[in-house]
Structure 1
Amino acid sequence: MNGTRSSVAVVEEVRRGLTPALTERIDLLICPPSTLIASCVAASYGSNIAIGGQNLHAKPSGAFTGSISAEMLADLGATYVIVGHSERRAYHHETDDGVHAKALAARRAGLCGIICVGETKDEREEGRTLDIVRAQLGIGVPKGATGADTVIAYEPVWAIGTGLTPTPSDIAEVHASLREMLERLVGPEAARIRILYGGSVKPANARELMAVENVDGALVGGASLVAEDFLGIAAAYA
């Protein structure tokens, strides 16, 4: 919940900062508040920057005052939507079943759903990390998910906005487990589904984190509010 109309300038700055190496090698996605989606779509038009939503309602329409549907997001020009972010789970009590329904809604409207999974500090200290993320994945991912309509994001809740990050070996373990779980759920298509890492990703650690096996990109939080930092993370792939 950051940004007003003046924040569209950040998207414009990111666009100006794109180099041929970045344009050719990576996909860039910005998920602003819903109030800014249309403006950001216009600001990114003609570039390789995609625009997505931060959340959605599972129903296409109805008496759900204040909510936004997948169809509404698509109508604004969004092509992605984040589903089940840890803050939605924590502060709005979203369940794995609810995340599943939202992922199906994203597919219904032709959006790619970014399904978030992750453990809390207590769950990690109890040694339950893999059990937690595999359970979230097992329920959240719709049957028949493909690389075109599904992305997975591992975001250890205790690392978000704290400056703390798991070790590369910790991340590798979780991502390998998620990949194996995806293979059980969708078979060979699992190889095409990207698994992102999110949790205090910044320019200083991006290259090390993005080099971890089965890490196919970053879900960037606070650093995305500053164009220079966002581009610095993207440069890990250049």
Structure 2
Amino acid sequence: MTTPSLTADHERLVEELRAAIAARDEFIAIAAHELRNPMTPIVGQVQLLLSRARREQASPALLQGLEMLELAVDHYMRRATTLLEITRLNAEEVRLEPTAFDLCDLVRACIRKYEQLATRAGSTLDCELHGPVDGTWDHLATEQVLDNLVSNAIRYGDGKPVCIELESHPEWVELRVIDHGIGIAPADRERIFQRFTRASSAPRSGGFGIGLWLSSKLVEAQGGRLALQSEPGQGSTFSVRLPRDVTAHAKIE
């Protein structure tokens, strides 16, 4: 075959691969939507039942069952949301929806969400908040970042306390999630921010292995940065620094 023919075949194969990848991502996005949307009213009903059970001082067995159900539903929703965000990031179509809210409220909601998981891991969730900390961020993206960091801290925290700190400045805020668990080796500190990667010291667990990669991308999309400080056996500190108002940095829908 002549060189022009080989070049044409190569270009055709590249285009076919691109089309196949685009079709795959479109299918995943549609599937994630279809999986996520029916769960929204279920989430609301579970939260309503749990609130009513607590108010009426239901039996411990019923409360524990509802709390486990809430965790399972939340885990399912986060998986579907993660799939959706992956396809958007692959297509470079991250469109944020900044809204004004108090970051302290988001942290408190996160603690309520994960306190049962922390208890089962033999850990506690503590926070240092000096609020309110008002600003403009994408609520869903910021919530997903915080969820990823807190759930990781509980999972790899070796049953020790997990602390969430919030530092506020006029132009920026910094959110820190601190654990005292297994830590991360120097060789793994850059690698864990790649897709489908875990630290070599991390125990096997469910999930896609893309939580930190996704978190870093969602932080960067808001004009911020995600940093890590860690020593093996001494725990890890993940720091998220965000501008006080992301509308000047983000692609707005």
TM-score interval, normalised by the smaller of the two chains:
under 0.3
TM-score (norm 2): 0.26
Q: Higher Cα Rg: structure 1 or 2? A: 2
TM-score (norm 1): 0.27
Q: Determine which structure has the larger strand proportion and give its number.
A: 2
